[in-house]
Amino acid sequence: MKVILGLSGGVDSSVALKLLKDQGYDVEAMFMRNWDSATNNDILGNPDIENDVCPQEKDYQDAEKVCEQLGVKLNRIDFIEEYWNTVFSYFLNEYKSGRTPNPDIMCNKYIKFNVFLKHASTLGADYIAMGHYARVKHDKDMSYLLRGVDSNKDQTYFLCQISQEQLRHALFPVGDLTKPEVRKIAKDANLWTAEKKDSTGICFIGERNFHQFLKNYLPSKPGKMVTLDGKVVGEHDGLMYYTIGQRKGLGIGGSKEFESDAWFVCGKDLEKNELIVGQGHDSIYLISNNCFASNVNWISYKPEEGKTYSAKFRYRQPDNDVTLKFIDDDHIQVFYPKGVRAVTPGQAVVIYDGEICLGGAIIDEVYYKDERRKY
């Protein structure tokens, strides 16, 4: 049984590679180059660059070291054009529309479980594998995506848009492990990446100044920062830089006219180019109890209308009880009567039936009862 694993140069995929080899699979690794730093205006620099080696090239060198240690063949493939057309263009268009996208979800859908899978098939792979904290159960006629054992690291949220066919060919070797267990395996095996820190931030941006990065591609349009009743309290740098529920970076404070409570982003008025802000973490305007979502994707089986399931509206968010109403094959309305804070257009609502991740959809409109929020 031949498996090709997506090796990122991080500890999770490194351990996944070791586990597959230990389990007797005919395994190869493949490093994906999805972002061209030199061509795509990546002029910001990175404090973690060592000896003028860009982070992506450093990751490849780390992947090479791990493959040398394990005696595994490493393939390298460029998906730069595919990434730009399917993930980065989506990312920019969502920000242009005032929404907050999740490019990692689209990267899984279009790159890791699509063009990667197709290329791996040309190399004779029966399965592909990734270092995600998720599990898969392959039955005779159906495969099920299950939450990772480590609830703090579970990444099924980011896999909500993959298809049944894609899942049928997927393995997740570290899904039954916790992060400390993964680290221990890496250290015991003296893997090159055992002490490498986890990557953070958006996949192609990494640990850079997000505002500066986005300015390379979208012109900023400053405007007024206003309260829920229309009082001007400051200036924003551009609506695309803010997300619902955000606290940091608003620069409001010190006015005797308002209470001392912290300020949060409560909405956006695209027509007026105004950022709506309010005080208090649990401001009623940040609470919604239903939303409409599109790009519906069910991985294994379709949930039942009216039945209670659990859902996450953001990664690592606690589960919320929800019921669904089907508008058509591509649109649903999601009800969460207990209310949820800062449900945000552009993010995903991901539906679970116990341990099974059923799939999800992309949030379009957010409501409290019958009142649409200016999200």
Compute the distance between CA of residue 128 and CA of residue 200 in angstroms, rounded to an integer.
24
Confidence (pLDDT) at 260: 79
Compute the distance between CA of residue 11 and CA of residue 316 in angstroms, rounded to an integer.
20
Query: Would you call 102 helix, strand, or coil by DSSP?
Result: coil
DSSP letters, 309-323, are EEEESSTTPPPEEEE
Give the start-end residues of each E strand in 70-153.
74-78, 127-129, 134-138, 143-147
Asked whether 117 and 169 are in contact (CB, 8 A), the reply is yes
CATH code reported for the domain at 220-279 = 2.30.30.280
Is 357 considered catalytic here? no
Query: Would you call 298 helix, strand, or coil by DSSP?
Result: strand
Domain segments of the chain: what residues? 2-210, 220-279, 284-372
Task: Please tell me whether the overall predicted TM-score, pTM, comes out greater than 0.85 for this model.
Answer: yes
Domain 284-372: CATH superfamily is Translation factors (2.40.30.10)
| Active-site residue identified among 54, 67, 107, 160 | 107
Is 54 considered catalytic here? no
| Active-site residue identified among 54, 67, 160, 203 | 203
pLDDT truncated to tens, each residue of the chain (375 aa)? Answer: 999 999 999 999 999 999 999 999 999 999 999 887 665 554 444 444 344 457 788 999 999 999 999 999 999 999 999 999 999 999 999 999 999 999 999 999 999 999 999 999 999 999 999 999 999 999 999 999 999 999 999 999 999 999 999 999 999 999 999 999 999 999 999 999 999 998 766 665 556 677 788 888 998 899 999 999 999 999 999 999 999 999 998 988 666 678 778 999 999 999 999 999 999 898 899 999 999 999 999 999 999 999 999 999 999 999 999 999 999 999 999 999 999 999 999 999 999 999 999 999 999 999 999 999 988
Domain 2-210: CATH superfamily is HUPs (3.40.50.620)
Compute the distance between CA of residue 101 and CA of residue 103 in angstroms, rounded to an integer.
6
